[in-house]
Copies of this chain bind each other. A is one copy, B any other.
């Protein structure tokens, strides 16, 4: 039998139990009101994340290929990264776009935001699309970034996702928000030609 009403967990105390450059692990001791239950949760505190779908005037998407140590393999992704302290998500996304691909220009629109994992993450990932972008050649990779850019026709994205060639959860989120936006704008050929909102 399910509860009439859900109670939030009440936080008794919390402490950082591990820190590294990209996240902190925080232990939160919390109690479920009305029941005799206390539990230690372990969550990851992260900065806000961003990503951006760069589309050229010919409806090619600028993808990046890089080695990812979590997966221990090369992945195909759209540009993205971490917001710096005080940096708004769009500025961060356009900075990452230019740093990682050397592309810029055109108009950026917000696509949507997600919680990467509400159970364990405290942050959000903000997705954008920018069109039409063009190459400036101004690459500025971080010390540990070793990245190749690829131009892929927008119309090939759905099959690349179906085949698992693009499988980064947060990258798929950006393309899903894009398809929902195009549907809302009445664009029946979202994967061959995009429509920007007014």
State whether the Cβ of A146 lies closer than 8 Å to any Cβ in chain B. yes
Copies of this protein chain in the complex: 2
State whether the Cβ of A20 lies closer than 8 Å to any Cβ in chain B. yes
Bound form: Cα–Cα A148–B4 in Å = 8
Size category, A interface: 35 or more
Interface mask (A70-94 → B, CB under 8 Å = 1, otherwise 0)? 1111110100000000000000000
Bound form: Cα–Cα A184–B191 in Å = 13
- A70 contacts which of B43, B161, B175 (Cβ < 8 Å)? B43
Interface mask (A3-27 → B, CB under 8 Å = 1, otherwise 0)? 1001111010000011011110101
Contacts A21-B42, A70-B118, A116-B117 given: A65-B6 contact, CB under 8 Å?
Answer: yes
Interface mask (A155-167 → B, CB under 8 Å = 1, otherwise 0)? 0001001101001
Interface, chain A (partner B; CB < 8 A):
1-3, 6-9, 11, 17-18, 20-23, 25, 27-28, 30, 32, 37, 39, 41-44, 65-75, 77, 112-122, 125, 137, 139, 143-144, 146-149, 158, 161-162, 164, 167-170, 172-173, 175-177, 179-180, 183-184
